[in-house]
């Protein structure tokens, strides 16, 4: 997939998190985890679209103790999103893919996950999709497709521009302009750079 996947790891604990595992077999992620002798604690999804979830099953099969974490709505709509994607974009009409159910559900704003000595803070950001959420790990903000270095995209199935504007307003009020954004597509940028160009 042409989307971004991130792997965040803690040297001291020897543990890692994969964010938006997008490639079917997650070969690069698995290779990095094995090369650095890491344990995979969490797979975190920013939203339910297939170009951000396709590698989940491969990681869960390889690392069964890893916990899949996403928003409640992401978990609910991931199956539908996958069917639509493969129907329209994948050149194999008989292919079937069903993401495994989430182990940890985020149900609202301001939920906090403590991971070793790190804090992960979640914010629900519907708009690009129903189940979109952003989260920061020690201040670095992972935004999926809510904030990217492009104009926002909304499909007719689960996107809504007004919801998106409300969501990004929450993000802009919560985080400073020098916050580093790790988007679902494109290059890393700061929140201030994004606001000046696109909002």
Domain ranges of the chain: 6-198
Confidence of residue 97 (pLDDT cuts 50, 70, 90): confident
pLDDT at site 82 = 60
Q: What is the mean pLDDT of residues 111-124?
A: 96
Q: What is the C-alpha to C-alpha distance for residues 133 and 146, in angstroms, rounded to an integer? A: 8
Residue 11 pLDDT > 90:
yes
pLDDT at site 89 = 63
Q: Which of 129, 139, 145 is nearest to 190 (CA)?
A: 139
Confidence of residue 86 (pLDDT cuts 50, 70, 90): low
Q: Where are the alpha helices (DSSP H) in the chain?
A: 27-35, 56-62, 72-89, 161-174, 191-198
Q: What is the C-alpha to C-alpha distance for residues 101 and 26, in angstroms, rounded to an integer? A: 18
Q: What is the C-alpha to C-alpha distance for residues 161 and 148, in angstroms, rounded to an integer? A: 15
pLDDT tens, position by position, 145-193: 999 999 888 887 889 999 999 999 999 999 999 999 999 999 999 999 9
Residue 84 pLDDT > 90:
no
- Where does 6-198 sit in CATH, by number? 3.60.15.10
Mean pLDDT over each residue of the chain, to the nearest integer: 92
**Strands ordered across the beta sheet of 118-124:** 112-115, 118-124, 133-137, 140-144, 180-183, 189-190
Q: Contact 126/167 with Cβ under 8 angstroms?
A: yes
- Provide the β-strand partners of residue 10: 15
Higher pLDDT, 44 or 151: 44
pLDDT at site 96 = 73
CA dihedral 99, 111, 3, 98 (to 10 degrees): 10
pLDDT at site 52 = 94
């Amino acid at each position: 997939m042409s989307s971004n996947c991130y792997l965040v790891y803690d040297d001291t604990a020897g543990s890692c998190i994969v964010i938006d595992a997008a490639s079917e077999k997650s070969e690069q992620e698995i290779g990095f985890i094995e090369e650095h002798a890491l344990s995979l604690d969490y797979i975190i999804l920013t939203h339910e679209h297939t170009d951000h979830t396709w590698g989940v099953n491969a990681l869960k099969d390889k690392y069964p103790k890893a916990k899949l974490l996403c928003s409640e709505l992401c978990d609910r709509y991931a199956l539908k999103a996958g069917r639509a994607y493969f129907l329209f974009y994948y050149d194999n009409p008989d292919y079937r893919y069903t993401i495994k159910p989430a182990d940890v559900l985020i149900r609202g704003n301001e939920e906090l996950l403590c991971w070793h000595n790190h804090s992960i803070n979640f914010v629900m950001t519907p708009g690009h999709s129903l189940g979109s959420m952003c989260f920061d790990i020690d201040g670095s903000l992972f935004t999926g497709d809510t904030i990217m270095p492009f104009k926002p995209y909304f499909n007719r199935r689960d996107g809504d521009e007004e919801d998106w504007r409300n969501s990004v307003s929450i993000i802009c009020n919560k985080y400073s302009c020098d916050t580093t954004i790790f988007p679902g597509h494109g290059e890393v940028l700061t929140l201030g750079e994004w606001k000046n160009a696109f909002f």
